[in-house]
Amino acid sequence: MGSEGGDGHRRQHRMIRRSQMGEIAVVLTQMGSFALIIALGYLLARRGYLTEPVSRGITRIMVDITLPCMIIASVADADVSVVLAQLPMAFALAAILFAGMFAFAALAALMLRVPRRDFAAYVFMGLCTNNGFIGLPIIAAIWGNRAVIVGSVYVIVIGCLMFSLGFAMLSVDRDLRERRSGEDRSPDGERPRPRIVIPWRSMLNSGLIGSLLALALLVCRASLPAFLQNSLSMVGSMTPPLSMLIVGYYLSGIPVASIIREWRLIPASLIRQFAGPLLLFLAVRPFVADPMMIGIFVVIGAMPVGSMAPAFIGRFGGDVELMSKATVSSTTLTMAIVPALLAAIAAI
């Protein structure tokens, strides 16, 4: 009996390893495709086809239309009973991941001795990540559209926490910078208490609404008419190529030399996007049996700085150029980090 049990365990282990190697092959193929589309976006930008107004319009289309459509359309491919059982774990993992992202971003800033004026910006790099129109397409490419609905839980949780706790941190940082520069004194010479600004309206964005609608359809076990489902799927399928074109546009706008001069950005990305997710994987692995659930957890953790991060940091008087360089450098590294991270996990 013991021998038979051992043989069964070894067969199961080999099957899991083959599945993981298959996922890595899919990731490598998909990353190669993404890299070609990024190169096309770079070329279009250099040739003048993809300009700043055009890229801004495409980004709005993705954020407001194609990404919500992709999330809602994913419900049709989901096994309702299975996904409903996975949702509580997904919400818990998303909260754990956000806490881990915060911790590793702060750790990276401390290890690299980031100047005090940029410390909050480096932490915010780990909170405002591109889990929407880069993370969800990668998840869909590896595990299919059925995984998008689970991934959208991370969009909801991380988005809400980023807009609340992340923006509160930036508000406090702005006021501390103003205090240090002496710009925040009242007429009687006293310094007011820090103002914490949380943009509640920004939290109610299209991605969040699309995620909530998808969850509502799932919980109610409702299905959309075929023509509407097909339309949503077609529009949603535009998200991955459009997002990669925009990444190419970002790459064309910042000289490589200027990114290299910000020498802390690349090691900070490696700590946040590779070491952090790997250690978090080791921490949660004993409690998560589903390979897809833990894979989504790791992939979302490896996402680069979000494309909206420069605009957000600018609202609080932060270094927009630094955040733009972080977006470009971390997005470029993601193409190598995600396959390397999944390979490392498969080898553990």
* Full set of structural domains in the chain with CATH: 49-181+199-347 (1.20.1530.20)
pLDDT at 92 over 90: yes
Label residue 110 by pLDDT band (50, 70, 90). very high
CB 312 within 8 A of CB 167: yes
**Cα-based distances in Å from 159 to 63, 141, 205:** 13, 22, 9
Distance CA 184, CA 182 (A): 6
Query: Which residue has tokens 């940029």?
Result: 118
Residues 90-106 have a mean pLDDT of 94
pLDDT at 4 over 70: no
Distance of CA 223 to the CA centre of its chain: 28
Give the model's pLDDT for residue 183: 54
What is the model's pTM? 0.78
Distance CA 90, CA 92 (A): 5
CA atoms within 13 A on the CB side of 58: 23
3-state secondary structure of 114: coil
Residues 330-338 have a mean pLDDT of 88
Give the model's pLDDT for residue 11: 59
Token pair belonging to 111: 């290890």
pLDDT at 204 over 90: no
Instruction: Encode pLDDT of 282-293 as tens digits.
Output: 999 999 888 889
| Nearest of 43, 36, 58, 33 to residue 133 by alpha carbon | 58
Q: What share of the chain is helix, strand, coil (3-state, %, to 5)?
A: 80, 0, 20
